[in-house]
């Protein structure tokens, strides 16, 4: 979904809207869109719900609509733009996700894999320094092996935590939040199960047995989910 034609290493936009328009143009020029104006409208509607400016200089604007011809991800890099990010810092690395209305499970899984990679500090630093489009693609395609030695040193703690993640569109934040929680669980030695409420439906659904056994619940969502089951 990320190819050289969807990469722009030097974005010129100075505002949030200018960056969005620039990335939409990149996708349109690459042949990913049916209707660039409609796609831009959907992306801006998503931003109005809650900003896709995350922490650590990353922003992941996205939209799921019939205005998208083929699933694609545009990557752009800037010297820093105010993107209403969660940590108040300027955003430098932009990934604009274009998902068709009928996006398949495999499309969503690929996108969730991409967004989870962005939790890696080292990967983000390398993306900031990459000098060519090919280098960007190579970095994103790398598979990182788990550090078993650090995993073995974690002391297993008692208790079991359950969690639910969900966002309005369900193709980026839902899975980043889930991966972040799972990674923190591994780091702390805490057993955790995370249910995702994404655009392809509920995955890894929490069972009544999970809920009964849990010592704590984390809800990371900005859309309505079934809370009665946790009563």
Active site residues: 62, 167
Q: Which residues pair with 81 in a beta bridge?
A: 91
Cα four-point dihedral sign 68, 119, 55, 171 = positive
Strand order in the sheet with 201-203: 201-203, 191-198, 160-166, 216-221
What Å distances lie between residue 207 and 123, 196, 225, CA to CA?
Answer: 35, 13, 15
CA-to-CA distance for 58 and 89, rounded, in angstroms? 10
Q: How far apart are CA 190 and CA 188, in angstroms?
A: 5
Q: What is the number of other CB atoms lying within 10 angstroms of the CB of residue 34?
A: 14
How many Å apart are CA 58 and CA 119, to the nearest integer? 10
Residues 6+ apart with CB under 8 A from 135: none
């Amino acid at each position: 979904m990320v190819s050289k034609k969807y990469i722009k290493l030097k974005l010129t936009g100075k505002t949030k809207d200018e960056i969005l328009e620039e990335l939409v143009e990149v996708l349109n020029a690459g042949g990913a869109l049916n209707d660039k104006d409609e796609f831009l409208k959907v992306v801006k509607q998503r931003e109005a719900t809650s900003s896709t400016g995350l922490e650590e200089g990353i922003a992941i604007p996205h939209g799921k609509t019939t205005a998208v011809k083929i699933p694609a991800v545009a990557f752009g890099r800037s010297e820093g733009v105010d993107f209403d990010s969660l940590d108040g810092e300027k955003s430098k690395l932009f990934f604009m996700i274009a998902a068709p209305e009928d996006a398949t499970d495999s499309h969503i899984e690929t996108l969730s894999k991409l967004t989870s990679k962005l939790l890696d500090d080292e990967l983000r630093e390398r993306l900031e320094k990459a000098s060519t489009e090919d280098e960007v693609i190579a970095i994103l395609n790398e598979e990182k092996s788990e550090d078993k030695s650090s995993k073995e040193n974690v002391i297993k703690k008692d208790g079991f935590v359950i969690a639910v993640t969900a966002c309005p569109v369900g193709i980026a934040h839902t899975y980043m939040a889930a991966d972040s929680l799972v990674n923190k669980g591994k780091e702390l030695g805490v057993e955790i199960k995370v249910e995702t409420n994404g655009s392809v439906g509920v995955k890894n659904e929490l069972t009544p047995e999970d809920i009964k056994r849990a010592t704590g619940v984390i809800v990371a969502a900005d859309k309505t989910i079934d809370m009665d089951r946790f009563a």
